[in-house]
Amino acid sequence: MAENLLTLLIKTYREATESLPAILPSPAKNAPMAPAYSISSQMGSMAPAELEYEVSSSKGYTSSSLVATEMTDWDYLFGDWGMTVYGSSRIDAAANFSGTAALPPIIGDANELTPVLHSPTQESDNVYLLLESAYNQEDEPSVDEEMYGKLQDLCSEAKLLLDQADDKSHKIGKAEMDLHSALERIKESEDSYLQEVSQRKEIEKTFARQRLQIEEMRRRLCTLSDELQDSKKYNLMLEQRITQIKSAAKDHVEEITEYFIKQSCEESKKCQKIEMDLLSTLQRVKEVESLLQNEKAQREYMEEKIARQRTEIEETKRQRDKLYYDFQDAKEQRIRLEQVDASEETNRRRKAERDMLSYLQRIKDLENQQIRQLKKQETMEETMARQKEEIQATKRKLHEIHGKHMAEIKSAVKVHEEKDANSKQLFQELQVKYDKLLHERDTAVIEAKELRQKNKQSASVTNETPYTGFSFVELQKTTNGFDAEFKISEDGFASIYKGFIRNTNVAIKLFHPRSLKGQAKFYQEVAVLSRVRHPNLVTLMGACPDDFALVYEFLPNGSLEDWLSCKKHMPPLTWKVRTRIIGEICSALAFIHSHKPYPIVHGDLNLGNILLDANFVSKVGDLGICHLLRQPDLPTTNLQHHPTKNHKGTLCCMDNGEFKSARELMLWSDVNSFGIIILRLLTGRSKQQIGEIVEEAMEKGNLHSIIDASAGDWPLMQANQMAQLGLRCITLSWGRQPNLAGEVWVVIEQLMKAACLPTGPSRFASPSDAPPPSHFICPIFQEVMSDPHMAADGFTYEAEAIRGWLDAADTSPMTNLRLANRTLTPNKALRSAILEWQQQQNRR
């Protein structure tokens, strides 16, 4: 039985060894060392054939009966392989040496073949052995203690090699980290370069802005010189000279001088900032150079490390060759000892082979890892070389850009110095002009004082005329501080606001206080309008002489121009309303033209100056440019002699004949404007060539085609009479113009009767030859009092007016202060004086 087992064991061993390749002869001592990958490939070809791991289910060995034990590297190399056989809870297919190495089967006592599977994988270093007859066997003593000791030495050396490989991988990882840090530094240097480029672009933009500012300064200088020339041209006009001197001398000159000073300061600051930027750029270049030197030192240090690693790898190869020689010796000893104890020697041989194969596999992995590291090192060196070249190129570009930038800065500084010198020269010229303007301003101030003296003289006349005084605080309160929401309109001399004063809606005309011409117009308007009262003239309710403000009655329906053009979806005016408005305008013009002792001319009559009250009663407004046609005022008064605002003339000193001609000219302008208004109300057209259009239509008998259809069915006969009247009014011959108070009023009165409208022949007649004294006028009604009563504030009012006032308020209409009491005392002395004055007027 024992002989059969021995023969079977020898037969099995021969079959297993026949599959192994022939053992190579040991290399000579002086022979060149083979590369690691060739030795590992030769040793890998010595692996036995792949066996399939099968466990018969009929023998009762299942996966649940096996015990899995995880072994460390130390147990794998130095563990006791003679202990109880290890099993695995996993049943996998057998693989080759890279996955699973199958060993020859072991013959048990019952002549059953039980395969032994050694499966070291990448996931774990578990060793799985399955021996059916190994459960009850005990460890047997070692046959060859010397061979066992050598194997232990080999295992210890293999462990040392593994530790060295780990150290090498750690060093390589550190080198990669150093390389990454170097790349980050290079990126930072690139970012700094990009920032410098952006800063240079910003500097160029600032230079461009400075150029634009200098051009703007030149344009302003040109405009300033033009303004100065204009001021010289219009030096004859006192008001324009004063305004231009104030605006040019105080505003423009001071602003320009301050602007030049600020610009010079800003340019010096910008030059200093550019120098600081250049210094910071040079500092950054130095920092980049220091970083490059540090990176060069680190690269040299890495090269030294790589050289040391190469020496260590060569030492590892020599140790591997030594192990290979020892392995060959051990294999020869194994062959000699096979005949002594076949079973025990086979087990030990298999263990040694497994250890050797695993060790060779690890050596192969180390060689592959070394090859990869060498490739990484080569790529790293190439990358560092490219980066070094890029850094050198970047450095060259920085030097070139720095040189160009410095040249541009020097040229810009030179240009700015030249411009600074030019600006200083211009400043000196402006200073000379400023001194000249100051001299002109002094002369203008003297002339202004003379003009104010004349205005005061005219104001003395105004003080004799009756009007209600308003305080500026009262006007501010009713307009909310002259807020823009209350503003109705504005022109070059005054602004008109809407307000509510003393229970009455009013229109406040506020003249510009700095305009001398506006002040003159204020005194002139007060002097004229306070003398006349007519139902179809806008009533002047009062004034604030200290602040040059006039208070008029408020007319809510706007101007006749708005209604004729149907602005804001206004309904068109009927022909009857238009006929009545024409009669009212004629009445107002006839009234001011027949004023005694001197007639009054409007001078700017148009549809925009004719306002409508709540009952569509028309009232002629904007009498601010009207004039009393008295001979002493003509040499110094600008009189309007054309219906448009753009044509003005000055009447010089003239004799009586010339004065009469001038007066006729001024009256003719109002009649001409009245004729244009008639034709516009008739046709609804604009004033451009209105006379030619109507005259042509009448010659062709086609007047009905141009009559405004929105006014309704205008009777053709009345329309013809109205058109003929309008054409007569706009004639260019002075002597052929009709008289407003005579033939014109007769025609209009007939037309109004035909339209069933009320007429009043005395509407344009002057109520008296001389205006009533101011103390006869009621401050509230602005009429001659018939029953004067004195209130607690000391002022005298019409009894009906003051009682109505006290019913709504307990303050004074004149001072706006609270009254001590509401007692009214009849002023009999004043009443007697008023009655006596009225009797004298009736006698005249």
User: Per-block average pLDDT, block size 10, for the chain (844 residues)?
Assistant: 55 55 43 42 41 38 39 46 41 39 42 42 41 43 66 80 83 87 86 86 85 80 70 62 64 67 74 74 75 78 80 81 79 70 71 80 81 83 82 81 80 80 83 84 78 60 60 87 85 85 86 78 80 83 87 89 82 90 91 82 88 88 60 38 36 44 71 92 89 91 89 89 90 70 86 71 45 80 87 86 86 82 84 81 68
> What is the C-alpha to C-alpha distance for residues 327 and 652, in angstroms, rounded to an integer?
141
Tell me the HSE value of 267 on the side-chain side, using a 13 A CA sphere: 25
Return the closest-CA partner of residue 510 out of 547, 481, 473, 561: 547
Q: What is the reported pLDDT for 486?
A: 85
What stretches of 533-614 show up as alpha helix (H) in DSSP? 560-564, 575-593
> What's the sign of the alpha-carbon dihedral 608, 611, 616, 618?
negative
> What are the Cα distances from residue 427, in Å, to 214, 268, 603?
14, 18, 47
Enumerate the β-bridge partners of residue 537.
620
The architecture that CATH gives domain 774-843 is 2-Layer Sandwich (3.30)
Helices vs strands, H then E, count in the chain: 17, 19
Contacts (Cβ under 8 Å, ≥6 apart) of 639: 601, 603, 627, 648, 649, 650, 651, 662, 666
Nearest to 578 by CA among 740, 751, 423, 344: 751
pLDDT at position 733, please?
62
Q: Token digits for 607?
A: 């549809």
Residue for token digits 């070139």? Answer: 400
Q: Which residues pair with 506 in a beta bridge?
A: 499, 553
Q: CA angle, 531 as apex, 530 and 532 as ends, to 5°?
A: 100
Q: Which 8-state DSSP code applies to residue 595?
A: -
Which residue type is seen at 474? E
* Residues annotated as part of the active site: 604
d(CA 320, CA 744): 139
Q: Indicate the DSSP class of residue 338.
A: T
pTM for this prediction:
0.40
Is 519:548 a contact under the CB 8 Å cutoff?
yes
Q: Which CATH superfamily is domain 555-768 in?
A: Transferase(Phosphotransferase) domain 1 (1.10.510.10)
Q: Quick count: other Cβ atoms within 10 Å of Cβ 771?
A: 19
Distance between CA atoms of 732 and 809, rounded to whole angstroms?
56
Q: Which CATH number is 469-554 given?
A: 3.30.200.20
Q: What is the DSSP letter of 545?
A: T
Residue 68 identity (one-letter amino acid): A
From start to end of 515-556, where are the E strands?
540-544, 549-553
- The DSSP letter of residue 86 is P
Give which of 394, 385, 457 is closest to 187, Cα–Cα: 394
Helix axis angle for 36-44 and 342-464, nearest 10°, is: 130
pLDDT of residue 776: 85
Rounded to 10 degrees, the C-alpha dihedral 157/159/161/164 comes to: -130
Q: Which stretches of 237-341 are DSSP H helices?
A: 238-245, 253-336
Contact 780, 798 (CB under 8 A): yes
Residue carrying structure tokens 């009850």: 136
Q: How far apart are CA 747 and CA 743, in angstroms?
A: 6
Cβ(707)–Cβ(682) below 8 Å = yes
- Domain boundaries of the chain, sorted by first residue: 2-140, 176-322+369-458, 469-554, 555-768, 774-843
Distance CA 419, CA 241 (A): 33
| Helix ranges restricted to H, 104-252 | 145-233, 238-245
Give the integer Cα–Cα distance in Å for 561 and 681: 10
Orientation angle between helical segments 342-464 and 238-245, nearest 10 degrees: 150
Q: How far apart are CA 588 and CA 741, in angstroms?
A: 10
Residue 580, Cβ density class (10 Å: 0-12 exposed, 13-18 middle, ≥19 buried): buried
For residue 10, the model assigns a pLDDT of 61
Local structure of residue 246 (DSSP, 8 states): I
